[in-house]
Structure 1
Amino acid sequence: MQIWKITLSYDGTPFHGWQIQPGLATVQGTLAAAIRHVTGETVLPQGSGRTDTGVHALGQVASFALECGIPGENLHRALNRALPTSIRVLAVEAMTEGFHARHSAVRKSYEYRIFHGLVKRGQMGIICSPMLAPYVWDCPLPLDLTLLQEAATHVLGTHDFTSFAASDPDRATREAEVPVYATGVRRIDRSCWQERDGLYVYSVTGSGFLHHMVRNMMGTFVEVGAGRLSPDSIPGILAARSRSAAGPTAPARGLFLVEVEY
């Protein structure tokens, strides 16, 4: 059996998330069907994480084992022919025994993109193009980038992020597979905002992320950027270890899985 690692980019708009679901189009299910079409083997590719409905990926990683001796270059080319254009295989690598896309990961990076066309409360701002709308949060609130950055610095380091975690339907499975999921403690190494191509872009890198953690942080940061919360409220929200202490969940469409490190 040869272990394969593939790096994927996908538009999450047409899919009901990563994880395979009966009767629904998912990234994992579509990839499994493409592998079966190319090789004749039935496998379930394991992703580095289970992105939600509407979440996109620039650098998702999946792994699976095959019995056939297909060369990596041929597998790469054939998978892209078999997959819809909303999913592209960027790289294919043969790995040694023991590699697993999720269990072997040490850090992940995400981006969240906000379209901030509303210049001033009560005024008509720049209209978000329908070509851009599926990939950003068209936020109706005027946001202060300085306040957003102040809020973002408070999550750097190791904290219990329970306040930013949604109820995870797969938690029991995750805890059985990876014991660290039994707690809400994670380490964040990078947390910063920048203005790029007319968008406010949040970048975050960490040891791992809880269910909806980035989207819940984002909803809270936006409350700060809109002047509804103080940046200094973030430590108190973390200390509360209660989802009710934090802000709303930001829409999935602005979130991108950018990179997984091993």
Structure 2
Amino acid sequence: MPLWKLILAYDGTPFHGWQIQPGLSTVQGTLAAAILHVTGEDVLPQGSGRTDTGVHALGQVASFELAAPIPAQNLHRALNRALPPSIRILSLEAAPEGFHARYSAVRKTYEYRIFPHDRWQPGLPDRICSPMLAPWVWDCRWPLDLDRMQQAAQDVLGTHDFTSFAASDPDRTARKAGSTVEASNVRTIFASDWTHRDELLVYRVTGSGFLHHMVRNLVGAFVDAGAGRIAAGDIAKIIAAQSRSAAGPTAPASGLFLVEVVY
């Protein structure tokens, strides 16, 4: 059976995340419905990971098999016509035997975007976040120090146990039920940087993998550092605690984008 790999972008605002859920609109379910409409085959595309409700993607990867030998260009065009405007397939190609969008991935890159209200010049009024931008950023109202946020971001580089930044994952717990092997929360972060771009504060992180809500929890802690609620050096202590209660709040989903998956 032909095995297909596709890269897609989507606005996560109208969806209840990637993973199919009964009675709810999801990206995976919408893509599966488009495949059924175009090919008549009932398949469930596998994604590189589960983005949460409201999280967006610039480079999500999915894979699926089809019985029908449809030319790639025809399938690509037909699927985009069947999908809503909030989802677009950027590329579609035959995948090598054994390829799996999730299990073949070796690293992922996420980006988080914050709209800062302060203008960095004293005496000027706060900036106002346009409703045309609000669904894709965190409209953050606290003054933030970019240097402190960047300093804090450096302390997550390398290999660590990120239990302090992992939300409870019911699906992961269910998969491990009855198993004597404990799921590891150890991940390796290769890059972790804040920049000021297009009048936004942008966090970009590349890692071997990410735990449930991990990027959003990291951003929440970095914002605490930028706002002066914790010291930038406290990130290392939070990691060492290996307790979710040691870290700060979870950043809103609206600012998070899955940017790239490397195989």
- Output the TM-score relative to the length of structure 1: 0.96
Q: How far 1:140 moved relative to its partner?
A: 1.0
Structure 1 residue ranges, 4+ long, deviating more than 2 angstroms after superposition: 118-124, 172-176
Q: 2:90 corresponds to which letter in structure 1?
A: L
Which amino acid counterpart does residue 150 of structure 1 have in structure 2? Q
Q: CA RMSD in A?
A: 1.8
State the Cα distance separating 1:32 from its structure 2 match. 0.1
More off after superposition, 124-133 vs 251-260: 124-133
Amino acid at match of 1:154: D
Q: 1: distance between equivalents of 2:174 and 2:118?
A: 42
With over 3 angstroms needed to count, the CA separation of the structure-2 counterparts of 1:174 and 1:116, relative to structure 1, is farther
Aligned to 1:57: 57
Helix, strand or coil: the match of 2:168?
Answer: coil
Shift of 1:175: 5.1
| 1:73 counterpart residue number | 73
Task: Find the counterpart in structure 1 of residue 25 from structure 2.
Answer: 25
> Are the aligned partners of 1:193 and 1:203 in contact in 2 as well (CA < 8 Å)?
yes
CA distances 1:52-75 after superposition (whole Å, capped 9, x unpaired):
000000000000000000011111
2:150 aligned counterpart, secondary structure = helix
Report how far residue 122 of structure 1 moved: 11
Q: Is the 8 A contact 1:114 1:201 kept in 2?
A: yes
Could you list the per-position Cα deviations for residues 21-51 of structure 1 after superposition, in whole angstroms to 9, with x for gaps in the alignment?
A: 1111100000000000110000000000000
CA–CA distance in 1 between the matches of 2:123 and 2:53?
A: 32
8 Å contact kept, 1:119–1:142: no
Q: Which residue pairs with 1:148 in the alignment?
A: 149
Counterpart residue type for residue 42 of structure 2 = T
The aligned counterpart of 1:238 is 239
Which SS does the other structure have where 2:215 is aligned? helix
Pair 1:214–1:92, CA change in 2 (3 A)? same
Q: How many residues align?
A: 260
Read off the aligned partner of 1:237 and give its amino acid letter: I
State how 1:74-89 maps to structure 2 within 5 Å.
74-89=74-89
| Distance in 2 (alpha carbons) for counterparts of 1:219 and 1:246 | 8
Amino acid at match of 1:80: N
Distance in 2 between the 1:124 and 1:41 partners? Answer: 56
Q: Which residue of 1 aligns with 2:136?
A: 135
CA contact (8 A) 1:6 1:90 kept: yes
Q: Kindly tell me: are residues 58 and 230 of structure 1, through their superposed partners in 2, closer, same or farther at Cα, counting changes over 3 Å? A: same
